[in-house]
Amino acid sequence: MTEGQPIPFKAETQQLLNILIHSLYTEREIFLRELISNASDALARLDFVMLTERDVLDPDIPPEIRIRADKDAGVLIIEDTGIGMTRDELAENLGTIARSGAKAFVEAARSAEQNLTEIIGQFGVGFYSAFMVAESIRVVSRTYQQAGQSAAWEATGEDTYLLLEGDRQRRGTEVRITLNEDAREFLDETRLRQVIKRHSDFIQYPVYINDEDEPVNRQTALWRQSPRQVEGDAYQEFYKQLTLDFTDPLAHAHMVVDAPAQMYALLYLPQDPRNLVFSPRKEPGLKLYARKVLIQEFCTDLLPPYFNFIQGVVDSEDLPLNVSRESVQSNRIMLHLKRLVTGKVLELLQSLAQEDADKYRQFWETYGGLIKEGVAIEQDQPEKLFPLLRFHTDQDATGWSSLEDYLSRADPEQEAIYYFLGEDPSAVRFSPHMDAFRAAEIEVLVLTDPVDPFILMQLKSFQDHPLVNVAEAELPEADVEGAQPEDTPVLDLAAQADLIVRFKSLLGERVSDVRTSTRLSASPARLVDPAGAPDQSVQRVYKLMDKDFDIPKKVLELNPKHPLMTRLAALHPADPRFDLVAEQVFENTLLVEGLHPDPVSMVARIQDLMTSALGDVEGK
């Protein structure tokens, strides 16, 4: 091969360059991250070599990455003192790049429906992202081997590249990028610092700008330290730097795991998402590092969506740097990491609930809706979220109770966990379904959030106690009888039968049936579902989802011991007050159940009833 003679790129390599230059990366600054990452890899490989080899060129040169900006020439230089490359290695690694997956990348790019940023990380072609900003690139390298010679590689992104004799005296590699006019921003020191701090702050080797003596990056990642060695203030400070939220988080968790995947993580629970208004983290997701190199700013693959309020970082030794860049692909390692991180968040929230009730209340009032959504959508063991749930009860309308709290207060003989399902928390006070429960002093959970019917699709039982709707509950006879005063007058069977006939005649097809019930005490009537009807929770789910679903016609149950019923039964069949009162009784039950289609329509009837009631005092 003649020195300096242009060498053609392979066809797929040229296609790859065209893709990278014209359409690939969404943020051009990524090129600097890729080159710093490559430099770090070269230093890491040299560290490994020096464990077994002593005959290394320049053994006393410190491991470092140095970035220099020549503003006059428009050149940006990224230099490392790593393992270096021979002429043949330059040709192999940069000339053909077949081993880096160029052909496979081009084939994937042709067929991919997703944005190309979703697949670049699979093929290890990050070096070529520099052509997004470059007029030309010159790479000069000298191998660590004593007998090796310096060599250079040059390309402009066209069809060919050059292999030349290099002029580098020291071990390592220098990438010289002559920047396009519209990329001269990367010659500005402030801009360089910004990119390094964002993407390469925790690279384990020092990164310097120009001839400065202080590295730009921190190098020591807090999450990689032993939790026993980290002071509490350090955790709070890191959180504030990460999020620009200057209130302390409610809680944090520090993970160091060796198996089934080696990973480190710092996870934070913010007090209030509104405090993150100035945060650079405008999207949900964790920062994902591979060996301290940031590969995704907002990784949503590590936690289920209902935990997207968690802030923090995850760093894995088992994610190769060439496996993921702009977007992390789902793979076996990521599945392990997701399981570990999700489990840690669950543990963090459970510990907070057990150790600090006030903080957990603050958490629940801020994020409880997301936890409920999680129960509704989680397909993999939704019961793991059940202990995190909190509810108001009829006996404590403002406090929060867990399912375990509820059971701890219940009679040991109580088999079920009872709940009221409605649209308004105040409705529980007037619900006829609550009559016997109040009299028997049985506590009832109040479920009135729009998402509650959805969680009931999953939350069928807790600790072997079934959840039962009060509207469908069959209380023990002792509880029902105890709810009724012994001297309460009751309609005889003939009067009950007559009352039922009169209600059926009046209401017609608006109800499926009318019957009396012994399960009512303070209320004159209630509506219940007919046999075979879907659960109320299912009906509400269909209603909320705007499905073409007709709510089953209800059964009207009358309380034969209520004064209103006994007086109605005593009215003459021709008395017009019967229809007025009976209609109002029925519509009151619709109103309490949240089923009344037009509550305003009751006004005229109520006025007629008021007029009728005042008729007895006319002329007085």
Residue 329's pLDDT is: 52
Question: Nearest 10 degrees: CA dihedral of 261, 267, 269, 274?
Answer: -120
Identify the CATH number of the domain defined by range 376-480.
3.40.50.11260
pLDDT at 126 over 60: yes
Which option is the CATH number for 7-209: 3.40.50.300, 3.90.550.10, 3.30.565.10, 3.30.70.360?
A: 3.30.565.10
Mean pLDDT of 149-153: 95
Residue 617's pLDDT is: 58
Q: Which two tokens stand for residue 109?
A: 């790019």
CATH 3.30.230.80 for the 222-355 domain, yes or no: yes
Q: Say how far residue 555 (Cα) sits from the centre of its chain.
A: 42
Q: How many angstroms separate the CA atoms of 434 and 429, rounded? A: 8
* pLDDT one-digit tens code per residue, 485-539: 566 688 999 999 999 999 999 999 999 999 999 888 889 999 999 988 888 878 8
Q: Which range is least confidently modeled, 63-67, 260-264, 482-486, 614-618?
A: 482-486
Residue 249's pLDDT is: 95
Residue 293's pLDDT is: 77
Q: How many angstroms separate the CA atoms of 536 and 546, rounded? A: 15
Residue 121's pLDDT is: 38
pLDDT tier, 212 (very low <50, low <70, confident <90, very high otherwise): very high
pLDDT at 113 over 60: no
CB 126 within 8 A of CB 335: no
Of the CA atoms within 13 Å of residue 251, those in its CB half-sphere come to 22
For residue 152, is it left (φ>0), alpha (ψ between -120 and 50) or beta? beta
pLDDT tier, 616 (very low <50, low <70, confident <90, very high otherwise): low
Residue 75's pLDDT is: 98
* pLDDT one-digit tens code per residue, 355-414: 999 999 999 999 999 999 999 999 889 999 999 999 999 999 999 999 999 999 999 999
CB 162 within 8 A of CB 9: no
**Greater pLDDT, 536 or 172:** 172
DSSP 429: H
Percent of the chain whose predicted confidence (pLDDT) is above 90: 55
Q: Where are the domains of the chain?
A: 7-209, 222-355, 376-480, 490-537+548-617
Question: Nearest 10 degrees: CA dihedral of 499, 505, 506, 509?
Answer: 120
Q: How many angstroms separate the CA atoms of 402 and 443, rounded? A: 13
Q: How many angstroms separate the CA atoms of 66 and 35, rounded? A: 11
Residue 189's pLDDT is: 96
Mean pLDDT of 245-254: 92
* pLDDT one-digit tens code per residue, 279-327: 666 788 999 988 887 778 888 989 999 999 999 999 998 876 544 444 4
Percent of the chain whose predicted confidence (pLDDT) is above 70: 85
Q: How many angstroms separate the CA atoms of 519 and 542, rounded? A: 28
Q: How many angstroms separate the CA atoms of 604 and 99, rounded? A: 84
Cis peptide before 260 (omega within 30 of 0): yes
* pLDDT one-digit tens code per residue, 1-41: 557 788 877 655 666 666 666 654 557 888 898 899 889 98
pLDDT at 164 over 60: yes
Q: How many angstroms separate the CA atoms of 42 and 63, rounded? A: 10
Model pTM above 0.75: no
Q: How many angstroms separate the CA atoms of 188 and 191, rounded? A: 5
- Number of neighbouring beta carbons within 10 Å of residue 214: 7
* pLDDT one-digit tens code per residue, 417-446: 999 998 888 888 889 999 989 888 999 999
Query: What are the E-state strand segments in 277-335?
Result: 286-290, 293-299, 311-316
Largest CA distance in the chain: 125
Residue 34's pLDDT is: 84
Mean pLDDT rounded to a whole number for the chain: 85
Strand partners, 401: 391
pLDDT at 479 over 60: no
Selection from 561, 576, 564, 587 nearest residue 609 by Cα: 576
Q: How many angstroms separate the CA atoms of 208 and 505, rounded? A: 91
Class of 490-537+548-617 in CATH: mainly alpha
